[in-house]
Structure 1
Amino acid sequence: MTEQTAGQDQGPPVPVADVVNTVAGTVCRDTRHRIHYREDGEIRSLSLADLDAAAVRVAARLHALGIRARDRVGVMAPNRIEWVLLDLAALKLGAVTAGIEPDRHQPAAVLAEFGLGLLFTGDPHHVGDASGALVHDIAQVHAWAFDAAGTPADAPALPPHPGYDPADICAVKQTSGSTGPPKGIEVTVASVNRSLAAVQEMFDHRDGDNLLVFLPVRFLQQRYWIYSALAHGHDVTLADRVTAVETAHAVSPTVIMGVPGFYGQLMTRLEADGIPADPAGRGAAIQQALGGRIRYLWTGSAPAGRQVLHYFHDAGVPLHEGYGLNETCIVTKNHPGAFRVGSVGRVLPHKRIRFDKDGILIVGSSHPVNTRYTWCAPGANERVFLPTGEVKTYDIGHVDEDGFLYIDGRVDDIVTLSGALNILVPLVEERLRELPGVHDCAVFGDGRPYLTAVVSPATPDLDGEALARDLAKLNQELRYEQRLFAAVIADEPFSIENGLLNAQYKLMRTPIGARYAGDLERAYAEHRIYNDGTVGDAPVLVTAAAGPPHGGRTEDERK
C-alpha cells in the first residue's frame, strides 16, 4: 500500500485560548452555571463559582501537605465530586494530576512508580498502610472543601500561581493495561489547550449547554468538559456508567460523552420497551429517556457499528463518532455540518495522518501530547513513537475522497486462517452484531480453517435455532473466507464486571478467547470439514460449557 497523507497543517499556527491557565490561575465568578453530581444517592449541584472556591480550599490543604508546582498528585477512585476538586486544586498549584485505575494497584507501588507526592484513594483500607502519610482517603477532601452547611467557605489565599508554559506537564495518563503492564504518559499543556480549542470550534459549547460526563474521570479527556464549563460558561454533570441514564433523565443534558457500548445498551433497552418504529417516534423516545434536550451525542474510544449510528442519526438525534488514542488525544471527529455515518470524521486542523507501506495509520500533531512514555516496558517507546515525533497507531483504515477517515480495525484484529488468508475480523463482527439475537460478539480463527465467534446474547432466552438460520443467511452475503461456520453462545453477556469488556466497553478479546477456549474447541470438533477441504453451509452453534449444538450437519454428513 502506498503512503497517503491527510490533514496537513496549513499556514502559521493559530493562537489558541489558554484554557489550562484560565482554569488554574483565575478566580471563577460564574454563579449562573453549575456542576451537577451524585452524592449519597441524590443529585446535588454547585455554581461554578462555588466549585472554584472549593477547589481553592482543597489546594490550600494540598499546599500545607507539601505539594508544590510540578509535584504529582495521584487519584485512585471512581467518579465523585472530590475527584474533580483534587484535579482543579492541583492545577491551581501548578501541579500534575495522575489518574490511576482503582482496584488494580497497591498504593506503595503506585507512589514509587509515578513519583507521587500524595495519593488519594477511594478504598479506606489502603490508608495507613505501608505507604504511611502519603496515602489519604479521598472522602476527607469533602471536609476540606465545604463547611458544616455543605457550601464552600471563603477561599484562602494561595501562593502566586506560577503559570504553566505550553510545554509544561499538567497531567499523567495511565494507559490501558489490557495487553500488558499499564504505561504512563505525561501530557503537555499545549496539547490540552489545542484539543479543547478544536472541540470548541466544532461544537461551540455555550450558555444553555449541559455536558454529561459518566466515563471515569481518570481519563483526562473526560475532565476536559469540566475545564470547558469553567472557561466557556456552560453546565456540566458528573455521573457514572451505572447511573448515567437515570442522571440524564433528571438533569436534561444537551450533550452526552459516551462510548458505543452505552448507546448500544440504550438502543436495546428502548427496543425492548416497544418504542415506535418510525424515526420521529424513535427520536422522541430517545429524547425522553435522556432528559429531552439532547443537542448531539458524542462517541469514541471503540468502534461504533453502523446499526447503532443509524438508530440515532435517522431518529434526528446526532451521534457523532470520533477517533483518538491516549498518545494522540482527538485526531478526527464528525460534527454538525461535516459528518459521514460509518466514518470517524475529518482530521482536526492541528493533526495530520498518513498510512505507511503496511497500511498502518500514523498520526502527527503540531501540539503533541508527548513524544514518549515516561513509564513503560523496554521497547514500548520505540514501538509507538517514531523519530519524526509521530505516533504509530497500529490501526488500519482508509480516507475517502472527501477526507473522512474510516478505521477498519487493528493489526491485532487480523486473523490468519490455516490457508494463509488474512481476515480483518471487526468487519465480520459488525455484520454479526446486526443479527437479532446478538448483542455483542468476538470472532476467532487464527491458524484454523475457518472463522468462529463467541456470541454475547441479546436476551437470556436466546433462540439458538433462529440464530443458526440467521447466521446461515449472513454467510451467503459474506466472502467465503469471512463466513462463520461455528459459534459459541456465551453463558452471560459480555460486561465490565465479568472482565470481558474494559472500562470503555471495548472487547477484551484475549480474556474472551481464554474463557471460552474449550467451547470453541467443541464448536470446531462438531463442525468437521469435508474430505475435499470445504465446509458445509449450515453453521453449528454450541452453548457455552453445556448443551447440544444447534444447526450444523446431519449425522450422515459428519461421517
Structure 2
Amino acid sequence: MSVLNRVIGGPPRPGNRLTVARLGATASWDLTEVWELSGRVAARLLGLGVRPGDRIGILAANSLEWVLLDLAALRIKAVTAGFDPGKFDATGAELVARYGLTLLFTDQDETADRVHPIASLRELPPYERELPTSVWELGEAPALKFTSGSSGPAKSLLASAGSIDSSLAAVQDMFAHGPGDDLFVFLPLSLLQQRYWVYSALAFGHDVTISTYEAAFAALRTARPTVVMGVPGFFESARAHLEATAARTGASLAEVAVETFGDRIRYLWTGSAPANPDTLRCFTDAGLPIFEGYGLNETCIVTKNHPGAHRPGSVGRVLPGKEVLIDADGVINVRSEHPVATRYEHARPGDADLMFRPGGIVRTGDLGHLDEDGYLFVHGRADDVIVLENGKKIVVRPIEERLKASPVIEDCVLTNPSQRQLVAIVSPAAQQVDTDRIAAALRQANTGLDRDEQIAKAVLAERFTVANGLLSSQFKPRRKQIEARYRRLVIDPEEGIRA
C-alpha cells in the first residue's frame, strides 16, 4: 500500500499525538482522535455537496482545523488548495472564483457565497454514515499548490499523489522517523511539504507539533522535539541568538542550544533556499546536526543530506525516483519517476514552457554540478549570473555568501548597473549600522577574488522581509524588486561604502 493510501486507509495506532502550539496556548490530541475528527469534517464536506475532484480552499493560520480539513479532503478525494494569509490579499469570493473552489474555509472576518469560517468546524457531531472508501492513484492530484518564485504573480500546479508518496517514502528511508520522534513544524501548512509531516506521523507512528513562525522559539522550549524543520532564515536567526546568549552568559554554544531547542534533538532539517555554510557548521558544532536538501515546488524533494550520507557544501545525494541532469549551460534539470506536474494550472503565458520540458523533465534554472560520488552542489541561479562588459560571467551567490559571512551583514544582493563593477545592496544585521565594519567585511570578502569578481562598494538597504516585498514566501531575496528599489543609490557615484 502506498504511504498516502496508508494515511487514509484506517485509523493509526494509539499513543502518538498531534500538538498545536501557538502564542499563549497549547493543545494536544491523540492521532486516533485526530483521525476521528477528520471523519466528522469529511462528513460535513459531503453534506455541503463536495465530491471527488472538487477543490477545498483553506485561507487560515496553522491550526487543528487546518489539519482536519486537509485530512478530510484526502479521505473523500477532494483537492486541498492552501493559501498563505500573508501572501494572498484577495477576498474569499475572489479566491473562490479565481481558483475554481467549491468551498473556502478561512479565519478572516468575511462572509460570501461558498466562504465558511474555519471555526465552524470546532463543534461537529459524530458522522452517522460510512465514509466512502478512497484510494489515490499515483497520477491523481490531492493538492493545488502555489509557487511565486522570486518575482511575478503566484503560479499554481496540481501535485500528484505519486510525487507525495515517493517523497514520503524516501525521507522515511533516510531518517527512519518513528516512536519517540516529535517533528516540529512552524511554516504555513499552506506549503504542501509542511503537511507531509502530519501524513508521516499517521503512517509511521510518531508525534508532530505544529506551531507558527511567530511562536516557534517560545514553543520549542516546551515542545522538546526531536526534529525541527526550518528555512535557512530561521536558523540564521537562531544562530544569532545562540551566539549572543553564549557571549553574554559565558555558556557554551551546546548549552545554549539545549536551552533553546530542548534536550531531545536528533537532527535539524533545512532547505528551500541557500543555507549559510557557517550557520550549518555552528549548529553541528553545537551538537545539533543539520542536513540541507534541495528541491522546488515543481520537483518536490530532489536531494538530501542525511546521517551516513552527508557532504558539507552539497545539498545531498539524489533521491530514489529522481534523476539530475546538468545541461551544457550548467543548469540543473530534474527527471522524476513520478512527476509533481507537467504544467501549471495558473501562470503567465510562457511560464510553463520555461519550466516543464518534454519527457517529464523540469528545468530548475539553478546552476550546479554533481561530484564523483553523486552529491549535488548548487552554485546559484542561471539568471543571477552577471555578465560584465568584457564578457566575464560572474556567478554571484558564492560572492554574496562571502559577504554574508560577516556578522554585521544579514543579507545582500549583488548587482552591476554599469556592467563594469559589482555593487552590493546590503541588509545590515543591526539597526545601528557600523560602516567601518561593513567596509572591513567588503575587504575580507574581496580577499582572494579575481579583480572582476571584487565588490566595488556597498549601499545600505532596509532589512529584507516578506512584509516589505524584498523576500519571497520561501525567504529568498527578490532580486528584481531589491535592485529596482535601490537603483538610485547603486548608480549614484557619491553613495555607498567602499572597501
Which residue of structure 2 lines up, in the alignment, with residue 364 of structure 1? 335
Shift in Å, 1:282: 1.5
Residue of 194, 210, 213 corresponding to 2:182: 210
Which residue of structure 1 lines up, in the alignment, with residue 52 of structure 2? 69
Residue of 316, 330, 334 corresponding to 1:345: 316
Which residue of structure 1 lines up, in the alignment, with residue 229 of structure 2? 257
Shift in Å, 1:276: 9.1
Contact 1:24/1:94 (8 A) holds in 2: no
Counterpart Cα distance in 2 of 1:46 and 1:232: 17
Shift in Å, 1:212: 0.5
Shift in Å, 1:431: 0.2
Which residue of structure 1 lines up, in the alignment, with residue 14 of structure 2? 31
Shift in Å, 1:24: 1.9
Counterpart Cα distance in 2 of 1:201 and 1:340: 18
Shift in Å, 1:70: 1.5
SS in 1 for 2:420: coil
SS in 2 for 1:143: coil
Shift in Å, 1:109: 3.2
Which residue of structure 2 lines up, in the alignment, with residue 518 of structure 1? 488
**Structure 2: where are the runs of 5+ without partners?**
none
Shift in Å, 1:226: 0.1
Amino acid at match of 2:479: R
Residue of 73, 82, 85 corresponding to 2:65: 82
Counterpart Cα distance in 1 of 2:299 and 2:446: 37
2:85 is aligned with 1:114: no
Superposition pairs of residues 149-548 of structure 1, within 5 angstroms: 154-176=126-148, 178-275=150-247, 281-490=252-461, 492-522=462-492, 525-526=493-494, 540-541=496-497
SS in 2 for 1:31: coil
Counterpart Cα distance in 1 of 2:242 and 2:286: 13
Change (3 A) 1:507 1:454: same
Counterpart Cα distance in 1 of 2:343 and 2:482: 31
Query: For each residue in 1:509-559, what CA deviation from the matched residue of structure 2 results, as whole angstroms up to 9, or x when unmatched?
Result: 12222222222223xx127xxxxxxxxxxxx51xxxxxxxxx56xxxxxxx
Moved more, 46-55 or 375-384: 375-384
2:18 is aligned with 1:18: no
Change (3 A) 1:338 1:276: farther
Query: For each residue in 1:459-508, what CA deviation from the matched residue of structure 2 results, as whole angstroms up to 9, or x when unmatched?
Result: 22221112213312332322211111111122x32222222222222112
Amino acid at match of 1:212: F
Which residue of structure 1 lines up, in the alignment, with residue 119 of structure 2? 139
Counterpart Cα distance in 2 of 1:230 and 1:452: 50
Amino acid at match of 1:506: K
TM-score between the two structures when normalised by the length of structure 1 = 0.85
Q: List structure 1 runs of 4+ shifted beyond 4 angstroms.
A: 275-278
2:78 is aligned with 1:99: no
Shift in Å, 1:181: 2.3
Amino acid at match of 1:272: A
Query: For each residue in 1:137-187, what CA deviation from the matched residue of structure 2 results, as whole angstroms up to 9, or x when unmatched?
Result: 22222233xxxxxxxx64543432232222111111111264222221111
Counterpart Cα distance in 2 of 1:285 and 1:61: 47
Amino acid at match of 2:95: V
Structure 1 vs Structure 2 CA RMSD: 1.9
Which residue of structure 2 lines up, in the alignment, with residue 52 of structure 1? 35
**Structure 1: where are the runs of 5+ without partners?**
1-16, 145-152, 528-539, 542-550, 553-559
Moved more, 377-386 or 218-227: 377-386
Contact 1:70/1:94 (8 A) holds in 2: yes
State the percentage of identical aligned residues: 45
Query: For each residue in 1:6-45, what CA deviation from the matched residue of structure 2 results, as whole angstroms up to 9, or x when unmatched?
Result: xxxxxxxxxxx512212223123x3311111035721111
Change (3 A) 1:177 1:104: farther
Shift in Å, 1:378: 2.0
Counterpart Cα distance in 1 of 2:128 and 2:490: 63
Contact 1:305/1:342 (8 A) holds in 2: no
Change (3 A) 1:108 1:155: closer
SS in 2 for 1:367: coil
SS in 2 for 1:459: coil
